[in-house]
Amino acid sequence: MIEIAPVVVNPLRVRPVVGYQSGVIDRRQSFLERVVALPRLGVGVSTEYGAQLAGGLDVMDLAESAPDHVQFLEVGVEIAKGLDADALAWIDAGRPTTYHFLDVNLDEPDDLGPDWLREVAEVCRQLKPAWLCGDAGMWHFGPRDRNHMLLLPPILTRESATDMAVGIRRLRDATGYEVLPENPPGQVFIGDMTLLEFFAEVCERADTGMLLDCAHLAIYQHLHGRSPLEGLDRFPLERVVELHVAGGTHREHDGFAWIDDDHTTAVSAETWAIFDFAVKHATNLKAVVFECERNQAAATEAGFARLAETLAVDGHMHS
Ligand SMILES: [Fe+2]
């Protein structure tokens, strides 16, 4: 049994910020009551610091030329780097955002210290995000440091799910925003639970919603020789608020076949199968991100068209 250290937050140093529409979280309500007040964002794209300068998507340009494709921007935030010029231009234009964290181990109470939380609150003040979300895994090994950044999946045990739920509640209470954990990518998973069992447990214990990354789940299912939809019928899809779709590349190393989550626009049939199923059953779906930030706009057309096709038929976002 893992001991959970007591959470120490100085409430005077971390003032809750007002959310995009719903404001400070009402603790008397359950998540399924609170989710009603979350805004419907539609389809968006993700970005992270310096993405466009590195040859990636010109988000503002695409939003102007194809407004249906970029109704909001998911801003990847590493507090040590801050917001880049593209993110600042987006928020200066008053456009909607979500805050995707890239630097917190939610299952380590010490990682949500007052200094980091204060800076998160400052970024929230600038972004006015609809909610916070991000891969619920290990973003750094050892202390948070620029040289330690990585992304590993969580240990899939009940103890780890309990610790993660504590972190989610703490971040939600400190910021006043919903915190949606995302199933992270990975090639090696440790623990006695399946990925879906683990996140169902996290959502239940934290009483939160979820960001389901369809590509990450497809990689996990493939790795374990499971069909893409296995276990999804038992997953609480009514808690899924946001979906991610991205392309990957099949690779092989020393006889080990794996799928690289490299965010190309070549979305696999397995990822689309998960997406189609989730859209059909996620009755509280508010947002879909096509993670195509490393590509040029022309290469993203087919992916956006395929997203729109499913959303038009089965989507709850327009109902
Ligand atoms: Fe993702």
Q: How many Å lie between the centroid of ligand 1 and the Cα of residue 287? A: 12
> Per the domain annotation, does 7 fall within a domain?
no
234-265, pLDDT tens digit by residue? 999 999 999 999 988 777 787 777 777 778 88
Q: How many Å lie between the centroid of ligand 1 and the Cα of residue 228? A: 17
| pLDDT for 20 beyond 50 | no
Q: How many Å lie between the centroid of ligand 1 and the Cα of residue 1? A: 30
Q: How many Å lie between the centroid of ligand 1 and the Cα of residue 215? A: 8
103-129, pLDDT tens digit by residue? 888 888 788 888 899 999 999 999 999
> Per the domain annotation, does 12 fall within a domain?
no
> Per the domain annotation, does 240 fall within a domain?
yes
Q: pLDDT band at residue 18, thresholds of 50, 70 and 90? A: very low
| pLDDT for 318 beyond 90 | no
Q: In the numeric block, which tokens belong to residue 194?
A: 């399946």
pTM: 0.88
Q: What is the CATH number of the domain that holds 180?
A: 3.20.20.150
> Per the domain annotation, does 10 fall within a domain?
no
How much of the chain, in percent, has pLDDT values that exceed 70?
A: 87
Q: How many Å lie between the centroid of ligand 1 and the Cα of residue 289? A: 8
| pLDDT for 8 beyond 50 | no
Distances in Å between the Cα of 44 and the Cα atoms of 7, 15, 86, 102, 241 are 35, 29, 15, 18, 13
Q: How many Å lie between the centroid of ligand 1 and the Cα of residue 269? A: 17
Write out the residue range of the structural domain in which residue 130 sits. Answer: 41-314
Q: How many Å lie between the centroid of ligand 1 and the Cα of residue 241? A: 13
The residue ranking higher by pLDDT, 66 or 56, is: 66
Q: What is d(CA 229, CA 304) in angstroms, rounded to the nearest whole number?
A: 22
Q: How many Å lie between the centroid of ligand 1 and the Cα of residue 89? A: 23
Q: Number of structural domains, the chain?
A: 1
Q: pLDDT band at residue 6, thresholds of 50, 70 and 90? A: very low
Residue 15: per-residue pLDDT: 38
> Per the domain annotation, does 127 fall within a domain?
yes
Contacts of 221 by beta carbon, 8 Å cutoff, 6+ apart: 227, 228, 230, 270
Q: How many Å lie between the centroid of ligand 1 and the Cα of residue 10? A: 32
The number of beta carbons lying within 10 Å of the beta carbon of residue 247 is 24
Q: pLDDT band at residue 144, thresholds of 50, 70 and 90? A: low
Q: How many Å lie between the centroid of ligand 1 and the Cα of residue 185? A: 8
